[in-house]
Amino acid sequence: MKIRTLLLIPVLFLLASSCSEARKGQPHTADAAAQDSVSQIDTTGLAVATFAGGCFWCTEGYFERLKGIKHVVAGYAGGTKPNPTYEEVSSGKTGYAEAVQIYYDPEEVSYQDLLEAFFLTHDPTTLNRQGPDVGTQYRSAVFYHNSEQEKQVRDYINKLELAGTYQNRIVTQVAPFTTFYEAEEYHQDFYRRNPNNPYIRSIAEPKMKKFEKVFGDKMKEKQK
């Protein structure tokens, strides 16, 4: 992808309605066989990245379509309370952000590729919010796992800033990874398993189509 994302209109994916509102009344049920569970993942030979970019339903949906991505798990990162629940994180008082943990083959997709996809698919200039979703749980954040990841993300943010890609300053939190807690089962693989959900159809699907146009050459064959 190189630096082509620097030339694109940065804010392509604004939300028209609140993700938290869409979850009201959402049944806590799902096909258990369809989800990735941290405890069940074979991470042999895989690298890991952790991003927070607003509602994790969409963030997970983008990344699981890219070549080289083996597993994407929705969850919570950046806080300290053991085993947080969705309701606790939604209060905005736990320090956690809705995040995704990505397990990928570095021979097929690079961390730089992931950074480009991450910054293109959300607005990194709005502090503690994405569209109408407001609160620290919806903040933009990169939780780096090693010094090389930290260097790459800071360098990429500097490149975006120098290029004037965004009208406003990037406020993405760059912090060391500490702990990731897997979200409740019904959140996992939500985009793929719930194509008729009103939020998915009206908000997420149009955003996904734009994403696919930009990253078509990086998409898994079965999802093009």
Residues labelled catalytic? 55
Dist. CA 85–CA 151, nearest whole Å: 32
How many other C-beta atoms lie within 10 A of the C-beta of residue 169?
Answer: 10
Dist CA 178 CA 57 (whole Å): 22
Query: If 0-12 CB within 10 Å is exposed, 13-18 middle and 19+ buried, where does residue 34 land?
Result: exposed
What span, in angstroms and rounded, lies between the C-alpha atoms of 163 and 222? 35
Instruction: List Cβ neighbours of 204 (8 Å cut-off, separation of 6 or more).
Output: 57, 58, 61, 191
Q: Angle formed by the axes of helices 111-120 and 205-214, to 10°?
A: 140
Angle at 222 between CA 220 and CA 224, to 5 degrees: 70
Contact 103, 38 (CB under 8 A): no
